[in-house]
Amino acid sequence: MAAPVAVVTGASRGIGDHLATALEQAGYAVERGSRSVAPVTDRDAVEQWVGDVVARHGRIDLLVNNAGVIDTEVPLLESDPDEWWQTVEVNLRGPYLLTRTVLPHMVAAGAGRIVNINSGAAYRNYDIATAYNISKGALARLTAATGLNAVHGVRAFDLAPGVVRTDMTKAMEAHRDRTEWTEPTVVAELLLAIARGELDDWNGRLVRAGLDTPESLKARAAQGLSESDRTLGLLPWGDDDPLV
């Protein structure tokens, strides 16, 4: 049988390069995206690239939305509006366009998995790099919405890689004094488990490299997951909250 096909954006360096290489070593035919191949915010370029991939391979089994940027680590009042919006476009419009373009092919095939590289910053309140944090929070909602296509055989996951030592993280003020980094191998381990279908119970949810393992996630899923587990949502003040 032909090798399974994976599309990985932002794969020319950093986490994307590590993940693409791990998939290749696992037997995937990997299509590596970069700004020179198809800028993720350019609808025409994305559609042309995905169409070319499908024309050559006949299908796409796995999409990894990895391409992302971070805005300057300053408070909202000091942020640059153009940089702020560009960050949101790369981190949110990019995964949306790739997902929207790849999804029909997966639905037609009756199978597929989409992995969005997310961050714990999506779930915390910060007043620096707000575009990054907001875009990652919105990405979590996109993952949850995409996961509703499980009825068509397509599942979606948020994969938080922890803090991998890359050009982006090394340049961040927040990690200036960091001495412990997440190993790329543990991120790849989770991605490969998702790709093999071992973590399908986590459809629409967040998994975090460095804290979660395939074994711990499977064990937790066996205990049963509630609708809100590892998802982004409103926390009520108690049982008497009218929003409950």
Q: Residue type for 188, please? A: A
Q: pLDDT tens-digit profile of 49-64?
A: 999 999 999 999 999 9
Which of 85, 112, 86 lies closest to 98 in space, CA to CA? 112
Q: What is the pLDDT of residues 162-194, one digit of tens each?
A: 876 676 766 666 666 766 777 889 999 999 999
Would you please indicate which residues are annotated as catalytic (active-site) residues?
132, 136
Q: Are 68 and 129 in contact (CB under 8 A)?
A: no
The model scores a pTM over 0.75: yes
- Please name each of the domains of the chain with its CATH number: 5-222 (3.40.50.720)
Q: What is the pLDDT of residues 145-166, one digit of tens each?
A: 999 999 999 999 999 998 766 7
Of the candidates 67, 65, 99, which has an alpha carbon nearest to the alpha carbon of residue 86?
Answer: 67
8 A C-beta contact, residue 205 and residue 177: no
3-state secondary structure string, 224-239? CCCCCCCCCCCCCCCC
How many residues are given for the chain? 244
CA 70 to chain centre: 15
What pLDDT, on a 0 to 100 scale, did the predictor assign at position 169?
67
